[in-house]
Structure 1
Amino acid sequence: MTQLNLTGCKKRKRGERVFKLRTFCEPGYPVEFNGLFRQNIRALIELGTPETNLCSGMHSWSFQLELHQCPSVHIVLLVIEESIERSAYRNCNHCKYMGWGHHMICSKKFHFVVSSRETMPVIAAGISYEGSCRGSDQKAAKSNFVGLQGYLMHGVLHSNGFGHLLCVNGVEKGAELAGHEIMDLWDRICTALRARKVSINDVARKRGMDLRLLHGVAYGEPWFGRWGYRFSRGSYGVTEPMYRKAIEVIQSIPLCLLVHHFGCLNHEIPAIFTRYQALSGHSLVTLGHLFHFMIELKVHLPQENHMASDNSGILFDTACRWSPKRIEMATRVIVEFLRKAEFKWVSRQEVRDAARAYIGDTGLLDFVLKSLGNHIVGNYMVRRSLNPVTKVLEYCLEDISSTYLNQEGLSLNDPKGKACHKITRAQLMNDIAYLYRSILNEQRSVLTSGIFTSIPLATRIILDSKGLIKNYGGEVAPSDNVGVEGNLTFLCTALLKNKLDGEEEKIRTLPPYELIILPLDATIEELKKETERVFRETYWGLRSFIIESISGVNAKESDMIFRLVELCCCLVMEGRMVEEGIGIDDIYESGRDDCIVDCPCGAKEDDGERMISCDICEVWQHTRCVRIPNGEDIPHIFLCSRCEHDIVLLPSLP
């Protein structure tokens, strides 16, 4: 991320506090967040600098986060409070698509935004909707902020602690911050504030590769899995067992079969396999092993230097205190001694003592012995292992001269063969992208026999598994003792009962339990009032909620709680809304969702993918499942296969 140009948008205020980006929201920094989510979010924004001319007049605060000190580079984190009362769109489609459509509409949303050069001026140019904007202009100003693309980070947390990470854009979008650093920041924020659950629609890509597929093959989980995000909902009827099976199938494809299959069609793929098998310190058996090794290798490979599998087998670093020539000489001495040992296991001390007769620098020997284990040197693999009996490191050689040959039959000890096994970071990324396109993406026409027919299907299932959720555990069970010492604690939820047309209509689903904290001498009346306050502040639809009774508890208002209710129990508070004119369905995130989804793929709920409705039965189906290409317009008249079949069976008119 380059330094943001805030000229004309926001000038640095004198005395404005600057926070360290890489430690922001770590335990105790900038403060200790030891309350509930609703308390922690207020504690955070009190530390920010209030902004009055951003985001169409919504309450907002900025945080200066220092990325580098010399030269000074800062990024700006904006926290924007969106009130649902004044929001252009009350319902949250992200909740609906992630299976939280049964949640009540929250009274507030908190947006966490790290802007890019392109998006910061747009946010700053927002005109207060309390002043100039009216009607549709007001809605346009708000939706412009919410739907704006190109943020480096945009996350939303509802006032009940549930949220969504909407986008992360790292280096590939021109940022100086890497994507994993932005994710670290977001994860620390959610952890510190004690969020409950956060969802992600995983569409992350790098160099044209879908990371959920690439990392799924390499690690068995998506890229976001590094931060604890797991499969929650798949599109097109994909379930978690289907996802796990697809990962297992594609990871376990043997490389030997791929080499045999592509041998006469594509000579580059077997050459890539051989190249990285030679660099690996262990045998690469499956496609999952190969992708895992290649991605891990990228982390350790210098940006401009190379790793060679020829003489030393050691990663040369320009910052190393020994020259490559000296390292090569020490390596040759060690390998020659092991060769004379006739491929037997020799202790590290014996190897070191024998090499000291030729190499006087013990530091150099220790460095080479540490770096040399499980690397290829010439025609040999240097093996290193811990003896399970003596607990001593031991070394031996393994002759691999007849094992790894490149496509032209060149030995690894051949000068031409050595050149084929020098890998730069750029070459490594090109090889990963080539394998991705050839095996997982573009070349599916050649994967039409045997085990390979499962690759396109497994790939499709993994790509359709985009809905991820992390449980941050912010519900705060009473046993956590977070800010509750010396108090009574209860987990309470609300059961809403309103009478419509003389009949009692009960709430569809209970909202998540909220932790209620009261003094030891609190009464039943105080419990009701505190619960009313919490639910009124949290949910827009409960702003006039009144508790009439507690399910399973028969007591007077003045009775002491601890005599009647067991400590730390879960309570259902039954009540009604005083305000009239609000239907039960209007207070849920899914709204009045009367549409019926019955797709051939098995989907029974709206998953956010493009759909079309039958003009007769009005059942919704995915356009992909009824073979309407994505780039093609939806037809004016559409009949599902069931209705088409019924029409065909109708008797013809005379």
Structure 2
Amino acid sequence: MSHLDLSGCKKRKRGERVFKFKTFGQRGYPAEFNGSFLQNVRELLEFGQVETHLCGAMTSWSFQLEVFRHPSLHVYLFVIEEPIELSIHHHCQHCQYIGTVNPKVNSNESSSGWGHHMICNKKYHFLLPSKNTIHACLSHVNTDSPCKSNLIGLQGHTMHGVFHTNGFGHLLCINGLETGSDLAGYQIMEFWDRLCTGLGARKVSFKDTSQKKGMDLRLLHAVAYGKPWFGRWDYAFGRGSFGINVEMYESAIKALQNVPLSLLAHHLDACKKDILILLSRYQIVSGHSLVTLGDLFHFMLELKFQVPKDSSTLYSSQYPGLVLSDTSCRWSPKRVEMAIRVVIQALKRAELRWISRQEVRDAARAYIGDTGLLDFVLKSLGNHIVGKYFVRRCLNPVTKVLEYCLEDISREFPKQEEFLMVNNETKLKPQQKVTRVQLMKDIFNLYKNVLIEHKKMTNTAGFSTISVATRIILDTKYFFKECGGELGSKSVLNKSKLYCAVIWSSRDIGGALSSIKAVTPYECFILGNNATFYELKFEVQKTFREIYLGLRNFVAESITNFNPRGTDLVFEMVRPGGKITFEGIEGQREIVNGGIYEGVMSNFVVDCGCGTKYDDGERMICCDICEVWQHTRCVQIPNGDEIPNIFLCKTCEQDILHFPSLP
């Protein structure tokens, strides 16, 4: 029976241990985490409360974690052990779309795909249930019919991650405050990150489809910070869909970040007037010149942490009036003010049209003879407020000449103060105030109108880049983190560590060795300093049989490039911390439908126009003649439309058209 108390997730029965959420998973709390991944998991589970009937026949443990003492807030961590025999899918669905099957790939080498990994005997699910799922998963506790795989099959957990016994894992979901959780997204990620590091995970993947207020975070944060939100925890490009590689992804981020705001201002007159107002507002609030789209998004997202959450509270920014308050200026404020007035009048005479810098300068020289002063003012005025006007400056993409335009913003900013001389007093610091509601609305409008709904701008020089780059970033969903495994673990008194892998061959029906070999990742072994190679061989066979389904009958026969006797002492011939590889045969193989690798072996051919040559998890359609698969999106079938019953690719259509006519 379950020992859980659902009454508000307060405290469980007296005497039961409660762990601190903020440090759970660190080395030494609650376990030392000093061995291999599988050893670390087992050591951790010794501190858990065994639960029954939560997941049918699967063994499960629970930990109560204290988030806050005052006011009291506790959450539960569940760990479920899923043996391969009880798995609905023997092949990991999350590994399948990360890469293709290639048994010849050396898994010790860098690879973007996990389809070549061998199937493990067990998986371990780590879950923080939400308020809804914890009640759903325990609804059967007092019944005689336990729900099979109930807990791991539910959707909507606060956090759900799964590890294979070889240390590779997947973060399946996190759901923060917006879904009703008591934990913020960053708290959940820090908790998950501690678990990965403490347990000695090797590498963790995540499919990022997270959104906030209708915005894809992987796009929003890529423009603002140059990496996805999960990049704060070192998650980086893993694999892109539709033929996208890491170079394309990084180039797309740089392209969006470096879009000049002056280019936006120059071409948004007719179609996006509200965006022009937005650009003006945050040029004022920032107090410094925002040059690129990346600068603007970065400033707005950082400003979110400074604006009070109370929607009625204003964020007050002192705009420093850069022209008049520049301490490096060698001209008196009076002369600078006069030059500004002359430039503004010249721009007014242009009747709100764009004119070149040289035209403005020539017009102003009739009144200001000091060309140095004019150059200083023209440089300083660009993209700044002067009274009720916003002086816009940009580089003409065709002529490559700086141009200026005056925009009347009195309607948008009716209370905007003049910072020029009024009654012989200089007001250098007019205020611009922004509420949190206004800020979030502006972020969404900028995201929607510039990054997503940019059809009116794509025909303009330079704006087609935004469309292409946005699509590339949104088509990149798989990210990875290199956790480092247990290679950095501490030494143990009177014992030393050694890292062993196995390379094995299978036997065909006639008993002959196959030429196909596979290498496992290295595993950590802690041995006494007087351990022999007989003892090491026994431990290696035991460990790898325990981890991998295909090695349940593995027999180690020799060591690569090494020929010790069984009675030789290991650490007299191999330095502590060294790596060796055992060679052997797999004996009688445990057969699973589709083989012993995580990726499903398939005979279908993928050859899409986007360059994709394998199943990347996106929706595809097969030609009924040549049986080649392509993305539905790439053959102009919208995602909302059903796949047609009969489909011919363009190549086959053309071939049919060239058939001779029937008599």
TM surpasses 0.5? yes
Please state how far the C-alpha of 1:29 moved relative to its aligned partner. Answer: 2.6
Please state how far the C-alpha of 1:503 moved relative to its aligned partner. Answer: 4.6
2: CA distance, partners of 1:192 / 1:492: 22
- Which consecutive residues of structure 1, in runs of 5 or more, have no partner in the other structure? 314-334, 346-397
2: CA distance, partners of 1:650 / 1:126: 65
2: CA distance, partners of 1:401 / 1:629: 45
2: CA distance, partners of 1:29 / 1:403: 61
Partner amino acid, structure 2, of 1:455? I
Contact kept? 1:152, 1:175, Cα under 8 Å: yes
- What is the DSSP-based 3-state SS (H/G/I as helix, E as strand, rest coil) of the residue aligned with 2:408? coil
Q: Deviations over 1:100-154 (max 9, x none)?
A: 010011111111111112211232245899x858xxxx8xx33x54342111111
Match of 2:116 in 1: 102
2: CA distance, partners of 1:258 / 1:87: 53
Contact kept? 1:490, 1:567, Cα under 8 Å: no
Q: Deviations over 1:395-425 (max 9, x none)?
A: xxx9966398455344999734599931011
Q: Mean alpha-carbon deviation: is it higher for 400-409 or for 146-155? A: 400-409
Contact kept? 1:209, 1:436, Cα under 8 Å: yes
Q: 1:402 aligns with which of 386, 390, 395?
A: 386
Alignment of structure 1 residues 363-512 onto 2, 5 Å = 402=386, 405-406=389-390, 408-410=408-410, 415-416=415-416, 421-476=432-487, 481-483=490-492, 486-487=495-496, 489-501=498-510, 503-507=512-516, 509-512=518-521
- What is the DSSP-based 3-state SS (H/G/I as helix, E as strand, rest coil) of the residue aligned with 2:80? strand
Match of 2:166 in 1: 160
- 1:302 and 2:313 matched: no
2: CA distance, partners of 1:202 / 1:89: 22
Match of 2:584 in 1: 575
1: CA distance, partners of 2:626 / 2:319: 72
Contact kept? 1:24, 1:30, Cα under 8 Å: yes
Contact kept? 1:56, 1:128, Cα under 8 Å: no
Match of 2:125 in 1: 111
Please state how far the C-alpha of 1:567 moved relative to its aligned partner. Answer: 5.6
Contact kept? 2:200, 2:484, Cα under 8 Å: yes
Contact kept? 1:279, 1:309, Cα under 8 Å: yes
Match of 1:261 in 2: 267
Against the structure 1 CA distance between its residues 642 and 500, is the aligned structure 2 distance closer, same or farther, given a 3 Å change threshold?
farther
Please state how far the C-alpha of 1:77 moved relative to its aligned partner. Answer: 1.2
Contact kept? 1:278, 1:404, Cα under 8 Å: no
Alignment of structure 1 residues 485-634 onto 2, 5 Å = 486-487=495-496, 489-501=498-510, 503-507=512-516, 509-562=518-571, 568-579=577-588, 582=591, 586-634=595-643
1: CA distance, partners of 2:573 / 2:188: 49
Match of 2:60 in 1: 60
Contact kept? 1:102, 1:509, Cα under 8 Å: no
Against the structure 1 CA distance between its residues 498 and 8, is the aligned structure 2 distance closer, same or farther, given a 3 Å change threshold?
farther
Please state how far the C-alpha of 1:481 moved relative to its aligned partner. Answer: 4.8
1: CA distance, partners of 2:590 / 2:309: 64
- What is the DSSP-based 3-state SS (H/G/I as helix, E as strand, rest coil) of the residue aligned with 1:225? helix
Please state how far the C-alpha of 1:568 moved relative to its aligned partner. Answer: 4.5
Please state how far the C-alpha of 1:89 moved relative to its aligned partner. Answer: 1.2
Partner amino acid, structure 1, of 2:506? K
Match of 2:403 in 1: none
- What is the DSSP-based 3-state SS (H/G/I as helix, E as strand, rest coil) of the residue aligned with 2:94? helix
Q: Mean alpha-carbon deviation: is it higher for 11-20 or for 553-562? A: 553-562
Match of 2:224 in 1: 218
Contact kept? 2:49, 2:61, Cα under 8 Å: yes
- 1:179 and 2:185 matched: yes
Match of 2:78 in 1: 78
Please state how far the C-alpha of 1:518 moved relative to its aligned partner. Answer: 2.6
Contact kept? 1:536, 1:542, Cα under 8 Å: yes
Contact kept? 1:212, 1:223, Cα under 8 Å: yes
- What is the DSSP-based 3-state SS (H/G/I as helix, E as strand, rest coil) of the residue aligned with 1:53? strand
TM-score by length of 1: 0.79
2: CA distance, partners of 1:164 / 1:413: 49
1: CA distance, partners of 2:627 / 2:575: 50
- What is the DSSP-based 3-state SS (H/G/I as helix, E as strand, rest coil) of the residue aligned with 1:75? strand
Partner amino acid, structure 1, of 2:86? R
- What is the DSSP-based 3-state SS (H/G/I as helix, E as strand, rest coil) of the residue aligned with 2:655? helix
Please state how far the C-alpha of 1:312 moved relative to its aligned partner. Answer: 9.3
1: CA distance, partners of 2:569 / 2:575: 12
Please state how far the C-alpha of 1:279 moved relative to its aligned partner. Answer: 1.4
Against the structure 1 CA distance between its residues 611 and 342, is the aligned structure 2 distance closer, same or farther, given a 3 Å change threshold?
closer
Against the structure 1 CA distance between its residues 81 and 311, is the aligned structure 2 distance closer, same or farther, given a 3 Å change threshold?
same
Q: Mean alpha-carbon deviation: is it higher for 275-284 or for 203-212? A: 275-284
- What is the DSSP-based 3-state SS (H/G/I as helix, E as strand, rest coil) of the residue aligned with 2:624? coil
Match of 1:202 in 2: 208
Against the structure 1 CA distance between its residues 405 and 192, is the aligned structure 2 distance closer, same or farther, given a 3 Å change threshold?
farther
Against the structure 1 CA distance between its residues 634 and 285, is the aligned structure 2 distance closer, same or farther, given a 3 Å change threshold?
same
Contact kept? 2:550, 2:589, Cα under 8 Å: no
Normalized per residue, which structure has more helix?
A: 1
Q: Mean alpha-carbon deviation: is it higher for 40-49 or for 7-16? A: 7-16
- Which consecutive residues of structure 2, in runs of 5 or more, have no partner in the other structure? 99-112, 332-379, 391-406, 419-429
Against the structure 1 CA distance between its residues 8 and 29, is the aligned structure 2 distance closer, same or farther, given a 3 Å change threshold?
closer
Match of 1:41 in 2: 41
Contact kept? 1:5, 1:117, Cα under 8 Å: no
Against the structure 1 CA distance between its residues 485 and 250, is the aligned structure 2 distance closer, same or farther, given a 3 Å change threshold?
farther
Partner amino acid, structure 2, of 1:444? K
Please state how far the C-alpha of 1:8 moved relative to its aligned partner. Answer: 11
- What is the DSSP-based 3-state SS (H/G/I as helix, E as strand, rest coil) of the residue aligned with 1:22? coil
Q: Deviations over 1:373-403 (max 9, x none)?
A: xxxxxxxxxxxxxxxxxxxxxxxxx996639
1: CA distance, partners of 2:602 / 2:326: 78
1: CA distance, partners of 2:138 / 2:474: 37
Against the structure 1 CA distance between its residues 404 and 44, is the aligned structure 2 distance closer, same or farther, given a 3 Å change threshold?
farther
Q: Mean alpha-carbon deviation: is it higher for 63-72 or for 447-456? A: 63-72
Report % sequence identity: 49
